[in-house]
Every structure is written in structure tokens, then in C-alpha cells.
Structure 1
Amino acid sequence: MKLPEKVGMIEDTIAMIGDGAIVMLGGFGVPGTPFCLIRELVRQRPRGLTIIKNDANEVGMGVDWLLESGQVARLITSHVGLNPTAVRMMNEGTVEVEFIPQGILAERIRAAGTGMMGFVTDIGLGTPLEDGKPRVTINGKIGLLETALTADFALLHAARADCFGNLFFAASARNFNPLMAMAASKTIVEAESVGSLGALAPEDIHLSGTFVDHVVELSELPGVYGVVKR
């Protein structure tokens, strides 16, 4: 059986994302954030997006571009403190923000990728994080039901890929990327280099191409990636 080649043009892959889509964005600050895919998303301007990302980036990069262009209706994240734009829009009520502790955010995404509907934890009991969540008693212990977190699309950044979508992430850029790839209905990856099938050694594959639908090769890394030193 011949494996499909998944390499395409950035314009075509992002064009699949329509108004109201739920979009996961990989990354922890700069490392692993798909800035070129986000920039194309801004150019094509789908509206009413729900964005799921660990953080809201900083002013002038990533999530901030989407906020400034008015494309975000809801932001699901662990913190926004480094982005005054996000803080302002949240306080003004122009963007709905749901805060999730970082570990719970990662686990809700991981749960979706493994096919689970959710999990039970005692984290957040008796705090505002409990609001609206059902309590569950197991073996006499009380916990909160945290539902799995899915998305229509996951946008990721990888250092290297092959044409089938097997991925290698550089150092800490791995972060949320593999989890999001498994939790989303479609996964789009920007890669700094794309090789033929077999270009990646098996031990260098951090995410199987099974979870990747489309790969875009970057001709260059814009300045916004300059924080990452290799």
C-alpha cells in the first residue's frame, strides 16, 4: 500500500478553516507556535473562532494577531498575563476567556486524543474552578468531572517532517503539539523542512503521521521565530 503524500500549499490548507471553527494552536510562548499558519489564518479572516492555546502569546505575535483582527470569539487558555490586548478584550467583554490550569488543559486535550470522554480530579474543589462542573464520588473520594477537549483543527509547528507527516520537534517545541494533533479532527503542520518518506530515523519521530492531515513546508522563518535559538 502506498502511503499518501500530505504536503500542500499554506493557502489551501488554511482555507479549510471556516467561520465558527474550534482551533487548537500548539506552542508554549514562542517554541512550537505555528506563526506562519496563524498569519495565513489572519489573512483569510474566518470569524467567530474558538482558540485553544496554552497562552495568548505576547503583543505583536501569534494569538495577538487574531485578537487584533477581531477573529476570536472565545479563548480557552491557561493564562493571558503577557498580552495586554487579551487582558483588555477580556475585561471589555469583546472576547470570552475560559481559564484552565495548565496541567488540566493538557490532560483534557490528551483525554480527547485517547478517545476518553473525560476524567475525574480533585484539583479545583472548593475554588472558582469548580463552577459548573459536576462532582463525582469514587471510593468515598469526591472529585470534579473534567470533560475531554476537542477541536475541528490543530495547527502545529515542527522542525522536520516527511511527506507522510511524521514529525520531529526541536527540544521544548514539542510541548502541546502531539497532544493537540491527536485531539483534533484535522491537523495542519508547518515544518521547517520536509523530506521524503524515510528521511526521519524512527527514533527521531515524535509524532506519527497517522495523526497529521496536511504539511506545509516553510521557505524561511520570519523574525517572530527569532526568540528560538538553535
Structure 2
Amino acid sequence: MRKIFPDAKSALEGLTFDGMTVMSGGFGLCGIPEHLIAGLRDSGVKGITVISNNAGVDGFGLGQLLETKQIAKMISSYVGENKEFERQYLAGELQLEFNPQGTLAERIRAGGAGIPAFFVKTGVGTLVAEGKEEREFNGERYIMETGLVADLSIVKAWKADERGNLVFRKTARNFNPMMATAGKVCVVEVEEIVPTGSLDPDCIHTPGIYVDRIIQTVSEKRIEQRTVRTRETA
């Protein structure tokens, strides 16, 4: 089955619906699927629950979906520099489920691995533990956290081959690879698509079995950098 699509609109066709849960990769502004986020915005889908480490910044990344009020709930670990995120939460317009960053990463990994729940020490005795089952192991208290899955995972990778095997760079590996495994459907945007068999198997971070659709894009930042370099050499 051919996985390569020409753009975000076609790659998301038939996958979005109101009230869906979306995992969106990235760490800060590194490795965020900016074109697929824009595709979600343009689709007009509403009432989304978004699972992401953070929510971009005002007007960029997931910040676009906050501005259009398409997000009903965030499951994240960091508000960051997004003033609209803070404003909507304090105004009661946005539900927020905060997680310690390592706990969020493990919840996503667990969901992708088919693990329904696990116990962790982080958060014991704090607001994080409210309403959660607690148990004692070896004299220490632990709280139960559940695995996370999504209707759709949108992911940003550096390279992919035609089968969807993915290679990530640097901190883009913090959430993208595990999110690719935890979505019922995974759509990926990449900077480069290479022929099948040209990637070193030891360098593949996510096997293509997890990837359903791929688009090739160039980030706005890279377009700007290339424009500057072209002007300098002209």
C-alpha cells in the first residue's frame, strides 16, 4: 500500500472527526508536525483532546488550534510561553490534565506497547495523585498511571523511506517515536523521503509498520534560512 501523500489535507482526509483524541509530537518547538497541525486547523474539526508535551506558542504549532478554539482538552506537561493556553485554562475554557514530563512519556510508551497501566513514585503525596490508586511496593508508595492511546498521531521525522521507516534527529526523538506507536492511525511529515532499502537498519528509530501516511514538507524556518543563504550568495 502506497503511504506517500502530496500534502497535509489529503493525508488527513477521512481521519478527523469532532471529539477525537490527537497525539502531536515534538519537544518545545523542535520536531513539531507544523504542517499537519495546520491541516487539522483547516479541517475545522472541533472538540479535540490533544496529547502533547506542550502546546507550541501563540500563533504557531498547537497554538493555532488554541486560537481557533478547536481544542477542548490538553493532556500535557508544560504550558510554556503560550499565553492563550494559560488564558483559556484560567478562564475555564480549556480542560487541562497535567503530567510530570517523564510520566507523560511513559504513559504514551505504555499505550503503544499495549500496557494498560503502571505504577510510579512521581507525584505521590501531591495533587498529581488525587483520585488515583495507590499501592506499596518494598516499603515505598506508588500511584497508578494509565497508558495513553489516540485516534490519530501526527509526527515529525527527519527522514523516511517509502515504507514509512523513520529517522529522527536530536530532541525530536523525545516524544515523536513513542507517539507513532500509540495512535490508531499515524500520519508523519518528513523533510526527506528516500528509496526503500537506503536507510541503515541500525539508524531506524521507528519501523514503518507503525506508519500509515507520509507527507514531505519543509519547515517555514528552513525556508527562511535557505532564502537568507541564497541572498548572501547572490
TM above 0.5: yes
TM-score after normalising by structure 2: 0.90
Counterpart-to-counterpart distance in 2, 1:69 and 1:38: 12
CA RMSD, 1 decimal = 1.6
- 1:153 corresponds to: 152
Aligned to 1:23: 22
Q: State the alpha-carbon separation in 1 of the partners of residues 170 and 105 from structure 2.
A: 18
Equivalent residue for 2:90? 91
Q: SS in structure 2 opposite 1:185?
A: coil
Are the counterparts in 1 of residues 108 and 178 from structure 2 also a CA contact under 8 Å? yes
Provide the residue aligned with 2:80 in structure 1. Answer: 81
Aligned length: 223
Q: Cα distance, 1:45 vs. partner? A: 1.2
Distance of 2:36 and 2:81 partners within structure 1: 21
* TM-score of the aligned structures, taking structure 1 as reference length: 0.92
Matched residue, 1:12: 10
Which runs of 5 or more residues in structure 1 are unaligned? none
Deviation at 1:202, TM superposition (A): 1.3
Q: CA deviation at 1:204?
A: 2.1
The residue type equivalent to 1:160 in the other structure is K
Partners of 1:130 and 1:122 in 2: CA distance: 10
Q: Deviations over 1:126-160 (max 9, x none)?
A: 11111111112335543111011111111011111
Query: What's the % identity of the aligned pairs?
Result: 39
The 4+ residue runs of structure 1 with deviation greater than 6 A are 224-227
Q: CA deviation at 1:31?
A: 1.3
Give the counterpart letter for 1:221 in structure 2.
S
Q: Contact 2:100/2:122 (CA < 8 Å) preserved in 1?
A: no
Change (3 A) 1:18 1:164: same
The reply to whether residue 112 of structure 1 matches residue 108 of structure 2 is: no
User: Structure 1 residue 206 and structure 2 residue 210: aligned?
Assistant: no
Q: Which residue number corresponds to residue 53 of structure 1? A: 52
Task: Indicate the residue corresponding to 2:127 in structure 1.
Answer: 128
Q: Structure 2 CA distance, aligned partners of 1:95 and 1:111?
A: 26
Paired amino acid for 2:220 = P
Provide the rounded CA distance (Å) in 2 between the counterparts of 1:214 and 1:178. Answer: 15
Q: Is the 8 A contact 1:35 1:224 kept in 2?
A: no
Give per-residue Cα distances to partners, 1:79-100, cap 9 Å, x unaligned: 1131111000000111111110
Alpha carbons 1:32, 1:175 under 8 Å: kept:
no
Q: CA deviation at 1:118?
A: 1.1
Distance 1:81 1:153 in 2: 24
* One-letter identity of the residue aligned with 1:88: R
Distance 2:224 2:117 in 1: 37
What is the CA–CA distance in structure 1 between the aligned matches of 2:89 and 2:103, rounded to whole Å? 21
